[in-house]
Amino acid sequence: MIEVSNASKSYGDTMVVRDVSLRFPQGGITSIIGPNGAGKSTLLSMISRLLPMSAGTVTADGLDVTRTPSDVLAKRLSILRQENRIPARLTVRDLVEFGRYPYSKGRLTPEDRKQATAAIGYLMLEELADRFIDELSGGQRQRAYVAMVLCQDTDYVLFDEPLNNLDMKHAVGMMKLLRRAADDLGKTVVLVLHDLNFASCYSDYMVAMRDGAVIHHGPPDAIMTTQVIRDVYDMDVEIQEIQGRKISIYYT
Amino acid sequence: MPDTKRLHPLHVLLILAVLAAGLIAAFMTIGAKGRWDFILPFRGTKVLTMVLVAYAVAVSTVLFQTASQNRILTPAIMGFDALFILIQTALIFSIGAAGVANLSPYLVFALEVLAMVLFSSILYRWLFSGTSRSLHLLILVGIVFGVFFRSLSGFMQRIIDPNEFVVLQDRLFASFNSIDGELLAISSTVIIAASLVGWRFLRGFDVLSLGRDAAIGLGVDHDRVVTVVLLLVAVLVSVSTALVGPVTFFGLLVANLAYQIVGSHKHRFILPAAVLLAINCLVGGQLILERIFAFDTALSIVIDFVGGLLFLALLMKGAAR
């Protein structure tokens, strides 16, 4: 279980994340939502030790993320950020095989290669496996990175806006894939999402942030109400139930 | 050049190694008049020096580029060359050319290496222990220091005796012609020791090229590996500069040539390829310099001209990856 206690992050006098305490449920998909600048990505970066905290602690399975050796943590928790550098001279397969680094330290065993092939298959990237990363479209590249993260085979998988750059079809495909990863592979998936309706349709749990603080959290049914959404976004949004799912109508 | 798209990195390495061996053999034997028992040790020392310097420059440039995730920067930008020039200038400025000539070369060598390693370590430690961990800030500070050192040297060079300035100018050109065997042995030991430390991180370097976040996500202690890289670079550049003078000019060339022809992201292929290319450059360049131009030009001119043409040809061919 990922547990955040009293986590804060400040740059000078500005508090970006203030005193967040939260237990992420084990298993399933948890989405973090909130307006721009709410501190969602910062919180995710602190959970995944990419960013040092100003105060507080984060533990994953009882391991303090700031004190546990990075390579031990890399077998439990993986993260995919929104911007990734695009290295040249790297094929999709090379990239995915990097996911095995925590286990093999760069000396790939046949088992590692099998895992990489499986991850490539899971993301349906077989035909692109030998293409170079910088020759792919944004969506294909995103899938390649997701394959790398799945190849890392960790219990906790964190994504910072995984739907960036994806069109409708690929966005739905990505969410279905994460759903499968949670259901079939038993992963605990934590996402930062901008699209409320994707969060509502695919999450088991939602965390709403505003001004660096968590102001609501609960199952989608509890979060997807006009009242809560107004608290979070300062917007009056109509929530309708369409085919058994809560959908927010916020376009007009 | 061979068609690089179909060649396995190991074959590229093999070709480069054969080429290097051929050039070294040519360098040792062409134009040899006189006793072999004099020529072989004399030219052998030169070749060893060139191999050592080629190794230091190639490895330091590739690692520096990996750590900074930039294919254009070289360690020279961190002010190493400028610091070397400053030390030399300050020495002549304070105790005069005669005084420097009387100093033990070992003392001067140790002083130069120590000053350069110390300077870079303090710079790195200071920048990495604070809240700001930006590599770009580090490089920027390095550039500013470089400019500062150069201005300081320029100032001193303007006010010293013109005769002493000529002596100084001679010391500031890279030269493989008067290398002390003992110094060479000391340098080799230091460089081999530093390389053994870096060897343990060899596969971690590959991960660094994915960027900081991805590297940490994969369990690489990014700050530690980058610190190791920067210290390694500091030692390699300092030792080679103290041995023969400022030679970092061809690092950029061999590193980028290596990326082009190896076609792999793995440092276990890129590093040896860059080293072999550097050996080819230095030995080949020196051969041309000695046998064709009869020492009438500078090594950097030969290498930059031939290497630059080769690099352009590779780019135009579109073999680039």
Mean pLDDT, chain B, whole residue set: 82
> Which whole number is the average pLDDT over B311-321?
66
**Yes or no, beta carbons of A85 and B210 under 8 Å apart:** yes
> Which whole number is the average pLDDT over B159-176?
81
Q: Indicate the pLDDT class of residue A215, thresholds 50, 70 and 90.
A: very high
**Yes or no, beta carbons of A81 and B218 under 8 Å apart:** no
Name the domain count of chain B.
Answer: 1
Identity of residue B100: V
Question: With 80 as the cut, is the pLDDT of residue A245 above it?
Answer: yes
pLDDT of amino acid A44: 92
Note down the domain range covering B242: 4-317
Orientation angle between helical segments B299-317 and B267-291, nearest 10 degrees = 130
Q: How far is A75 from chain B (nearest CA, A)?
A: 8
Say what the ipTM of the complex is.
0.86
> Which whole number is the average pLDDT over B153-178?
82
Question: With 80 as the cut, is the pLDDT of residue A158 above it?
Answer: yes
Within 261-280 of B, beta carbons closer than 8 Å to A belong to 263-265
> Which whole number is the average pLDDT over A172-193?
91
> Which whole number is the average pLDDT over A194-213?
92
Q: Does A107 touch chain B (CB under 8 A)?
A: yes
Q: How far is A19 from chain B (nearest CA, A)?
A: 20
CB A216 within 8 A of CB A189: no
What structural domains does chain A harbor?
Answer: 1-76+156-166+193-252 (3.40.50.300)
> Which whole number is the average pLDDT over B78-104?
83
**Yes or no, beta carbons of B210 and A73 under 8 Å apart:** no
pLDDT of amino acid B6: 56
CB B109 within 8 A of CB B243: yes
> Which whole number is the average pLDDT over B129-143?
68
pLDDT of amino acid B321: 46
Q: Indicate the pLDDT class of residue B287, thresholds 50, 70 and 90.
A: confident
Integer Cα distance of A5 and B320 in angstroms: 50
Question: With 60 as the cut, is the pLDDT of residue B130 above it?
Answer: no
> Which whole number is the average pLDDT over B215-230?
85
Mean pLDDT, chain A, whole residue set: 89
Q: Which residues of A touch B217 (CB under 8 A)?
A: 48, 50, 74, 78-80, 149, 152
Question: With 90 as the cut, is the pLDDT of residue B92 above it?
Answer: no
Q: Which residues of B touch A74 (CB under 8 A)?
A: 217-219
More confident call, A155 vs B67: A155
Q: What is the CATH number of the domain that holds B93?
A: 1.10.3470.10
Percent of chain A's residues with pLDDT above 70: 98
Within 176-215 of A, beta carbons closer than 8 Å to B belong to none
Q: Indicate the pLDDT class of residue B18, thresholds 50, 70 and 90.
A: very high
> Which whole number is the average pLDDT over A160-183?
89
pLDDT of amino acid B125: 67
Question: With 70 as the cut, is the pLDDT of residue A111 above it?
Answer: yes
Question: With 50 as the cut, is the pLDDT of residue B25 above it?
Answer: yes
> Which whole number is the average pLDDT over B100-112?
83
Mutate to test the interface with B, among A41, A73, A84, A89 (most CBs of B within 10 A): A89
Question: With 60 as the cut, is the pLDDT of residue B65 above it?
Answer: yes
Mutate to test the interface with A, among B4, B218, B256, B257 (most CBs of A within 10 A): B218
Q: How far is A223 from chain B (nearest CA, A)?
A: 31
Of A74-83, B73-82, B142-151, least confident by mean pLDDT is B73-82
Q: Which residues of A touch B66 (CB under 8 A)?
A: none
Q: Does B296 touch chain A (CB under 8 A)?
A: no
Q: Indicate the pLDDT class of residue A214, thresholds 50, 70 and 90.
A: very high
pLDDT of amino acid B2: 40
